[in-house]
Amino acid sequence: MQFPVKRFLSYYKPYLSLFIGIMACVLLVSSLSLVFPLLVRHVTKNILESDLSTALSQVYWIGGLMVLLIVIEKVGNHFIDYKGHELGARMERDLRSELFAHMQKLSFSFYDKQRVGQLMSRITNDLLLLSELYHHGPEDYMRYFIRSVGAFVILFSINAPLAVVVLCFMPILAVFTLVFNKRLNRTLRHNKERISDVNAQVENSLSGIRVVQSFSNEQIEIDKFNAENERFLESRKKTYWAEALFYNGFQILIHLITVAVIIYGSTHIINQTLDLSDLITFLLYITFMTEPLRALAHMSSQLQEGVTGFQRFMEIMNLKPAIENKPSTVNLTEVRGEIEFKNVYFRYEEHLDDVLVNLSLHIQPGEYVALVGPSGIGKTTLCSLVPRFYDVTDGEVLLDGINVRDLELSSLRQSIGVVQQDVYLFAGTVIDNIRYGNPSATEEEIMAAAKQANAHDFIMSLPNGYHSEVGQRGVKLSGGQKQRLSIARVFLKNPPCLILDEATSSLDNESESIVKESLEILAKGRTTIVVAHRLSTIRNAGRIIVLTKDGIAEQGTHQSLLARDGVYAQLYAKQFEHQV
């Protein structure tokens, strides 16, 4: 994947003035740091070797100048540190907001293949590492460039032969650093993969904690987690081993440079071709020259992690939603609720078989239609095509005679209410979850919707009524209570079309009776498609559509289909036998 440099740099644009201010401060502070050894040299070479009667006042003056430079440098570093991190945090916020907003647009087909833990890693860890590169990258590269080049120029001007001696060690340091840098980067990549596996295992186990505990398989999950955790530990140990070798090897080379400078410099002092003050200055500047190489491993790791984070960010950002608006779309205003499937074919992926083959179905406005058939035959899939959760592979789905692909997506989905078997409630209060159907609704409207959904009484019995917390995914409520809240949400939305996807199949008889009554009230005056598992719940449907692997096998009312003694009659008889 080619790195998009222009896109990478574009995130500096909103904060360009702040970025320029930070870099100017880095330039000033880095330049000032080069002055200190020169001041030391001036004191030892010029002041202390001249008239000592006036030396003390000059030393005080130089000392005052040094203190002033220290104050300026520390104030500058404070500005760089604070504002630099603020710059990185602002850019991280922008990137995270952009990525999350884009994820909201991605289609069901994308989430069918993704794990939540992996996506969370991209939106948190990856962008944190990227923000570190945005902040520290330019700052570190400028600081080390100015200090190393400046130090070498100063040393060369003081004593060229001794500067060359120091320079001869640089290729050795560079090769040593590059070799270990590759090794460190390899171990860091492994660390990232291992911690990603740990995150995925945590997300998988904790998401299914009720299943884990119901089967008493806590130890199995602990063992799986410990295995991934152990792999991560082994990966970290290799990184620490490489880091220790690099750090100590680098320190040995630095000491060798110091020894070489002392021996070579002492020889020149004895031969009176070098001053002691110049030798001291050389020793002070060695750190400035070697500092960039010492930091190269960290800088390279920072660069690689930041670049990798940005590439992973762009992988998601470059994904186009499978379902999106055409350049010119139609906004729905008054919806009658006529739904038609024309010669519809559908498969989830290119390499998979068709789930629906040449299926045609016409539903009149306000009609109550039930879909029945064996599991996996495509009932839910067919319903998902109406609000464009997926697009047909071939054929057309029409709403009020208009192809749903030509309708503005938000207005299409606003006109369709969906009640599913697996109810999702957000962590928060009861009123927040009902209000999700219409964010601008008043409390009175929310209560009216709850009453229509037969939810008001049980809500009022909760400790804080409508302001009671429901817990993650509504764990504090029963299945029937959660379902009634989801129905209240749809009442509040008040859509002209309704899809009930096995909305009562997981409920006990008492809850089913209450929810069924709510659904019947909700369905009045709306075009309704019901996916039914329990055939007893759809006896009063205006039309029952029987789906098989060959498409629509038969359709009609409950009584007419029983009288036909076909597929529906067999399904009904089987279910009745099981119930008996």
DSSP string, 290-322: HHHHHTHHHHHHHHHHHHHHHHHHHHHHTPPPS
- Reported as a pLDDT band with limits 50, 70 and 90, residue 580 is very low
**CB–CB of 429/467 below 8 Å?**
yes
Q: What pLDDT does residue 577 have?
A: 59
Percent residues over pLDDT 90 in the chain? 19
Residues 6+ apart with CB under 8 A from 113: none
Average pLDDT over residues 345-366: 89
* Phi and psi at residue 281, to the nearest 5°: -60, -40
Q: Which of 552, 446, 556 is nearest to 494 (CA)?
A: 446
Residue for token pair 């320079």? 167
| Number of other residues whose CB lies within 10 A of the CB of residue 505 | 13
The pLDDT of residue 293 is above 70:
no
Distance spanning both ends of the chain, measured CA to CA = 62
Q: Kindly state the average pLDDT of the residues 334-343.
A: 91
What mean pLDDT comes out for the span 157-174? 81
pLDDT score of 472? 73
Token output for 398: 């029409």
The mean pLDDT of the chain is 84
Find which of 38-42, 81-85, 103-107 is predicted with most confidence, using mean pLDDT. Answer: 81-85
**Domain boundaries for CATH 1.20.1560.10 within the chain:** 5-317
**Across 20-29, 371-380, 399-408, 567-576, least confident range:** 567-576
For residue 362, pLDDT beyond 90: yes
Provide the pLDDT for residue 340: 93
Tokens of 525: 């005056």
Residue with tokens 């598992």: 533
Question: Using an 8 Å Cβ cutoff, are 520 and 452 in contact?
Answer: no
Instruction: List where CATH 3.40.50.300 sits in the chain.
Output: 339-579
Place of tokens 């004191």: 43
Q: What's the distance, CA 89 to chain centroid? A: 16
Residue 199 has pLDDT above 60, yes or no: yes
- Measured CA to CA, the distance from residue 345 to residue 548 in angstroms comes to 14
Q: Which CATH architecture has domain 339-579?
A: 3-Layer(aba) Sandwich (3.40)
Q: Which of 433, 474, 434, 440 is nearest to 452 (CA)?
A: 434
Pairing verdict, β 402-403 and 527-531: unpaired
Q: Which CATH architecture has domain 5-317?
A: Up-down Bundle (1.20)
pLDDT for the residue 296: 66
Cα–Cα nearest to 519, from 418, 415, 445? 418
Q: Which range in 38-52, 114-128, 161-175, 352-366 is most confidently predicted, on average pLDDT?
A: 352-366
d(CA 401, CA 251): 77
Q: Of the ranges 237-241, 337-341, 508-512, 538-542, which is most confident?
A: 337-341
For the cut 90, the answer to whether the pLDDT of residue 90 exceeds it is yes
Which pLDDT does position 191 carry in this prediction? 78
SS3 530: strand
Of 16-25, 277-286, 439-448, 510-519, the one with minimum mean pLDDT is 510-519
- Residue with the bigger pLDDT between 573 and 16: it is 16
**Is residue 511 over pLDDT 80?**
no
Say which residues have a Cβ less than 8 Å from residue 39's Cβ, sequence separation at least 6: 62, 65, 66
Of 293-297, 360-364, 376-380, the poorest mean pLDDT is in 293-297
CB 399 within 8 A of CB 339: yes
